[in-house]
């Protein structure tokens, strides 16, 4: 029996990296997880791992930026499991550039995936959550639900070359604070986790993999120069980058019942590091 046994959780971008670690952590604690990723193979791999661990889940493949995605995502949770308890808005990527070289498309892509997509998912979830809360109140039952939005220390402190990403992640904080005030009446806590330097394909040294990802037909370079990785690790008080599992642990803190009276907060998971 886990601390969130039987809860139904939505996790976007759960095919790999931090999102996968979040989905596996929630499943290990007893949640039934609706796994999303744009990569069908990655989504189903996470789902298979969840199943092998004895937990339940379902995959919803697709881009969170598609207009029809949010209702389909939420509907899958209700149709498959009859409930909705936890929403983790994790999906995202970076598309860097200094402002004078940044295109409108780069700017709008970051807002779309990091701000508009969570907004649409939460908007689609509202009728479900309010309806469940109303039924529980009439039955004399109290149930606290959870929303965890993913921000970044880039959104809190800014980061050169990331005016689009930093702006989007700053907006996530505003979304979080506002929704915590709107949804308190439904017994929903809304918090954010701002990640620092976490080991993922987006942050790995380019000597390891000088790679690219393809998003909406665009090839986006990922990773960082080796010297930048070394500089960041040296600046982190704990002396190293965080793991996806440690990042997932920070998200889980806001999903566990021990955090039922914490809402509207942003916690930094960065080993003590700030820009």
In sequence order, which residues have a C-beta less than 8 Å from that of residue 156 and are 6 or more positions away? 169, 170, 173, 194, 266, 268, 274
CA 156, 210, 19: angle at the middle one, nearest 5? 50
Q: What is the mean pLDDT of residues 2-22?
A: 97
Given pLDDT bands bounded at 50, 70 and 90, which one contains residue 275? Answer: confident
Q: Is residue 273 part of a domain?
A: no
Given pLDDT bands bounded at 50, 70 and 90, which one contains residue 254? Answer: very high
Residue 10's DSSP bridge partners are: 34, 87
Q: What is the mean pLDDT of residues 150-154?
A: 97
Report which of residues 6 and 217 the model is more confident about. 6
pLDDT for 89 equals 98
User: Cα–Cα distance between 232 and 228 in angstroms, integer?
Assistant: 6
Q: Is the pLDDT of residue 109 over 80?
A: yes
Q: Is residue 272 part of a domain?
A: no
| Active site residues per annotation | 165
Burial 119-153 (b: 16+ CB within 10 A, else e): ebbbebbeeebeebbeeeeeeeeeeebbbbbbbbb
Given pLDDT bands bounded at 50, 70 and 90, which one contains residue 169? Answer: very high
Report which of residues 220 and 77 the model is more confident about. 77
Of 129, 128, 168, residue with least CA distance to 150: 168
Q: Is residue 3 part of a domain?
A: no
Q: What is the mean pLDDT of residues 126-148?
A: 98
Q: What is the mean pLDDT of residues 1-14?
A: 94
pLDDT for 208 equals 55
Q: Is residue 1 part of a domain?
A: no
Residue 12 contacts residue 88 (beta carbons within 8 Å): yes
pLDDT for 257 equals 97
Listed in order, strand segments (DSSP E) in 78-187 are 86-89, 145-152
pLDDT for 212 equals 63
Q: What is the mean pLDDT of residues 100-113?
A: 98
> Which CATH number do you get for residue 134?
3.40.50.720
User: Cα–Cα distance between 43 and 260 in angstroms, integer?
Assistant: 29
Number of domains in the chain: 1
In sequence order, which residues have a C-beta less than 8 Å from that of residue 160 and are 6 or more positions away? 98
pLDDT for 170 equals 98
Q: Is residue 62 part of a domain?
A: yes
Q: What is the pLDDT of residues 193-249, one digit of tens each?
A: 999 999 887 666 555 555 666 666 666 666 657 777 788 889 999 999 999 999 999
Could you list the residue range(s) of the whole structural domain that residue 224 is in? 8-267
Q: Is residue 150 part of a domain?
A: yes
Write down the mean pLDDT value for the chain.
93
Q: Is residue 188 part of a domain?
A: yes
pLDDT for 206 equals 52
Q: Is residue 113 part of a domain?
A: yes
pLDDT for 2 equals 87
User: Cα–Cα distance between 109 and 186 in angstroms, integer?
Assistant: 32
pTM above threshold 0.75: yes
């Amino acid at each position: 029996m886990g601390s969130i046994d039987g809860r139904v959780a939505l996790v976007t971008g759960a095919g790999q990296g931090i999102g996968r670690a979040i989905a596996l952590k929630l499943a290990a604690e007893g949640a039934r997880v609706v796994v999303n990723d744009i990569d069908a193979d990655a989504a189903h791999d996470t789902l298979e791992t969840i199943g092998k661990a004895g937990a339940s889940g379902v995959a919803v493949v697709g881009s969170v930026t598609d207009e029809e995605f949010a209702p389909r995502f939420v509907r899958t949770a209700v149709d498959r499991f009859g409930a909705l308890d936890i929403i983790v808005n994790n999906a995202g990527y970076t598309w860097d550039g200094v402002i004078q070289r940044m295109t409108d498309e780069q700017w709008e892509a970051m807002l779309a995936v990091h701000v508009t997509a969570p907004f649409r998912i939460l908007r689609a979830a509202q009728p479900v959550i309010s309806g469940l809360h109303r039924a529980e109140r009439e039955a004399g039952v109290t149930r606290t639900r959870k929303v965890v939005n993913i921000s970044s220390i880039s959104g809190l402190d800014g980061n050169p070359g990331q005016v689009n990403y930093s702006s989007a992640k700053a907006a996530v904080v505003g979304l979080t604070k506002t929704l915590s005030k709107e949804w308190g009446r439904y017994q929903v806590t809304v918090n954010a986790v701002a990640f620092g330097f976490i080991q993922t394909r987006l942050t790995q040294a380019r000597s390891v993999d000088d790679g690219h990802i393809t998003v909406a037909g665009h090839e986006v370079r990922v990773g960082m120069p080796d010297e930048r990785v070394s500089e960041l690790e040296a600046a982190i008080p704990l002396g190293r980058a965080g793991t996806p599992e440690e990042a997932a642990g920070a998200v889980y803190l806001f999903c566990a019942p021990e955090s039922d009276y914490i809402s509207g907060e942003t916690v930094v998971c960065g080993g003590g590091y700030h820009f």
